[in-house]
Amino acid sequence: MNPSKRALLATSIALATALGLGHAHAQTALENVMKNKLIKIAVPTDFPPYGFVGIDLKPQGLDVDAANYIAGKLGVKVELVAVTSANRIPYLQTKKADLVISTLGKNAEREKVIDFTAAYSPFFQAVYGPKGTALADFSGLGGKSVAVTRGAIEDQELTKVAPASTDIKRFEDNNATVSAFVSGQTQFIATGVSVADNMIKRNPALGAEYKLLLKDSPNFIGVAKGEDALRLKVNEIIAAAKKSGDIDAMAKKWLGRPAGNLPE
């Protein structure tokens, strides 16, 4: 073999090896998880009811339950990694976490840098009211008063569906909106699930509960770009959990309503 052909062959082998290693590197997450019998999952600890620290100082919430559930189905231990909204995606990109289960919505910008599984839980805005007050649909708000934060998503959505006779009382921030409902200034409140959960926990005597859905914005699990093996495995677990009713049970436990029809 002449020197030029030998050099060409060596270059081809090096390129093929590099491509092979690159592909292998892009698919190591699931392999490492199963080999080490450990999965690192990023969860929130300051965003009830999805993730927060309980009185026993341990993380709990829907996202924490989902993390433990997935680890259990994989047959591995879980290391919960506390994250904030700002650092949850960087933790995934720098391999500080194998998955992010932290109220993560899917959008085009995020899809450029990470991949997503199927949706595992709802995130929503809704109308809440006293347990003893029936409210079958939005027509029942006619003649009733509802507290809402001015300009928020729930304000926009409520305005679309509430009867003209509804007394929509708008306040400048969530604290004022909650205070108005808690103090009895309004009969109902329209707000996000996290705000409602905090309100209900702080005011158990209020007896407030979920009544009507205004807008659903489901949560997805974040996976590092290119980790298709892990993503598809988690999708299998989510699909089975939907079929068995486990997804609905988790949503009911923490959000007061079933998960419903979540997108793939």
Comparing CA positions, the residue from 96, 110, 101 lying closest to residue 234 is 101
What the block records as the tokens of 136 is 């079958």
Judge whether residue 4 has pLDDT over 80. Answer: no
- How far apart CA 167 and CA 186 sit, in angstroms, is 9
Least confident of 10-19, 78-87, 104-113, 167-176: 10-19
Q: Is the peptide bond before 49 cis (omega within 30 degrees of 0)?
A: yes
What the block records as the tokens of 247 is 């997804």
Full-prediction pTM beyond 0.85?
no
Judge whether residue 15 has pLDDT over 60. Answer: no
Query: What is the tens place of the pLDDT at every residue in 121-158?
Result: 998 899 999 998 999 999 999 999 999 999 888 999 99
- Tell me the pairing of strands 124-130 and 188-192: antiparallel
pLDDT category, 1, cuts 50, 70, 90?
A: low
Q: Is the dihedral of CA 160, 165, 166, 171 positive or negative?
A: positive
How is the chain split among helix, strand and coil, in percent rounded to 5?
Answer: 45, 25, 30
Query: What is the tens place of the pLDDT at every residue in 185-241?
Result: 999 999 998 899 889 989 999 999 999 999 988 999 999 999 999 999 999 999 999
With contact defined as beta carbons under 8 Å apart, do 225 and 115 qualify?
Answer: yes
**To which residue do tokens 């090096």 refer?**
14
> How many DSSP H helices and E strands does the chain contain?
10, 13
- Alpha-helix residue ranges (DSSP H) falling in the chain: 3-26, 29-36, 62-74, 88-93, 108-111, 153-161, 174-182, 193-202, 228-244, 246-255
Least confident of 13-22, 135-144, 166-175: 13-22
153-169 mean pLDDT: 95
